[in-house]
């Protein structure tokens, strides 16, 4: 396992090469990571950035949402910090180096900032369907505690309701449908619409059973292309496990597997590859973990207590309350 960790650390990525370029080229320190492709081109074979000699190009960082934890906070820092020379430098604020991306972003005042949350929704609207945007809106309500929920709703309502706007002219009905869908996502996270400063649903919709709502929620997950390609980057051990599990999926044969290993050995990377492959086939894959932190590392992840409605206080007669 130590060999796996060492190999991962030795890999040179576009980001680590960006750090190196900032160390050697003082002029590059004026740029944000997302702006780098305007002035530099990436040489994948050599693993380095070269100054662009022709017309500029627009760059883009892969989107992330608050439920993705470290990935989201890293992206947040890279869109605000100019010219970092290393991860340590990126996580240093006023001479103090912080241990996590989230703590760094907090010290910089980037968390619980409604402007940042609004930008996150605006960026997601460019590449995602309204259904995925509604999920993200619910995630922001749950995990980010925006100061002005009503303003966030008003600003992004057109994007949130785009699908329904095409099929109905009844504004009240459209708003109710959007609120109902956001409410379903919040319900899966243990929250309700009534806990937030949002418009009231004027005509409650009870056309979905709990089972239908759960299935619709799972089918609405948009597979990240990078997760689908992850299977091409699996190491030997990961590939063996991936093929073994997928052989059961392909043959529709039940199976139980336990993947164990120290932190940083690629367990989550393997899970993402498996989830993406199964979901890309139109099948259901329930990403479940024992803790919220672990669940947030997987797309569509939920804790076991939330997924299966496991009672908090257990006795000999306790049962899970999940419809079958």
Q: With 0.75 as the threshold, say if the pTM is over it.
A: no
- pLDDT at 285 exceeding the cut of 80: yes
Lowest mean pLDDT among 73-77, 253-257, 273-277, 304-308: 304-308
Distance between first and last Cα of the chain? 39
Give the model's pLDDT for residue 91: 93
Average pLDDT for 37-59: 80
Q: Give yes or no for residue 225 having a pLDDT over 90.
A: no
pLDDT band of 151, cuts 50, 70, 90: very high
- Residue 4 clears pLDDT 50, i.e. is over it: no
State the alpha helices, DSSP H only, in the chain: 2-10, 14-24, 36-39, 70-78, 87-90, 101-107, 114-127, 130-144, 149-160, 162-165, 171-188, 210-219, 225-228, 236-251, 267-280, 292-296, 304-308
* Phi, then psi, of 198 in degrees rounded to 5: -125, 160
Distance (Å, whole) CA 129 – CA 119: 16
Reply yes or no on whether the pLDDT at 1 is more than 60: no
With cut-offs at 50, 70 and 90, classify the pLDDT of residue 211. low
Q: In the predicted model, what is the mean pLDDT of the chain? A: 81
More confident residue, 32 or 318: 32
Give me the pLDDT at residue 11, please. 63
Q: What pLDDT shows up at residue 48? A: 86
Most confident of 58-67, 127-136, 197-206: 127-136
Confidence of residue 6 (pLDDT cuts 50, 70, 90): very low
User: Predicted confidence band at 90 (pLDDT cuts at 50, 70, 90)?
Assistant: very high
pLDDT(156) > 70: yes
Phi and psi, residue 92, nearest 5°: -110, 130
Least confident of 64-68, 100-104, 175-179, 239-243: 64-68
Question: What residues does each domain of the chain span?
Answer: 12-107, 114-219, 225-285
Q: How far apart are CA 143 and CA 120, in angstroms?
A: 13
């Amino acid at each position: 396992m130590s060999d796996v960790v060492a190999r991962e650390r030795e890999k040179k990525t576009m980001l680590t090469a960006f750090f190196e370029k900032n160390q050697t080229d003082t002029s590059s320190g004026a740029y944000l990571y997302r702006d780098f492709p305007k002035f530099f081109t990436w040489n994948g074979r050599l693993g380095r950035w070269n100054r662009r000699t022709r017309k500029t190009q627009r760059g883009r960082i892969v989107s992330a949402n608050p439920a993705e934890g470290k990935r989201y906070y890293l992206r947040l820092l890279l869109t605000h910090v100019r010219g970092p020379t290393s991860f340590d430098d990126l996580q240093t604020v006023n001479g103090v180096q912080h241990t996590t991306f989230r703590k760094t972003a907090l010290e910089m005042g980037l968390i619980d900032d409604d402007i940042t949350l609004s930008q996150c929704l605006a960026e997601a609207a460019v590449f995602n369907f309204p259904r995925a945007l509604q999920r993200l809106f619910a995630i922001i309500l749950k995990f980010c505690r925006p100061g002005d929920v009503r303003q966030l709703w008003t600003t992004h309502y057109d994007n949130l309701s785009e699908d329904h706007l095409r099929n109905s002219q009844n504004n009240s009905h459209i708003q109710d449908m959007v609120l109902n869908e956001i409410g379903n996502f919040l319900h899966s996270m243990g929250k309700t619409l009534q806990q937030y400063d949002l418009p009231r649903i004027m005509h409650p919709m009870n056309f979905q059973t709990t089972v239908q709502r759960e299935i619709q929620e799972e089918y609405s997950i948009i597979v990240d292309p990078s997760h689908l390609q992850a299977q091409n980057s699996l190491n030997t051990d990961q590939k063996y496990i991936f093929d073994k599990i997928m052989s059961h999926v392909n043959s529709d044969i039940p199976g139980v597997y336990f993947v164990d290993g120290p932190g940083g050995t690629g367990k989550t990377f393997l899970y993402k590859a498996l989830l993406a492959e199964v979901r890309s086939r139109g099948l259901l894959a329930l990403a479940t973990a024992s803790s919220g932190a672990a669940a947030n590392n997987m797309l569509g992840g939920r804790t076991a207590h939330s997924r299966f409605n496991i009672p908090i206080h257990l006795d000999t007669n306790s049962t899970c309350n999940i419809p079958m």
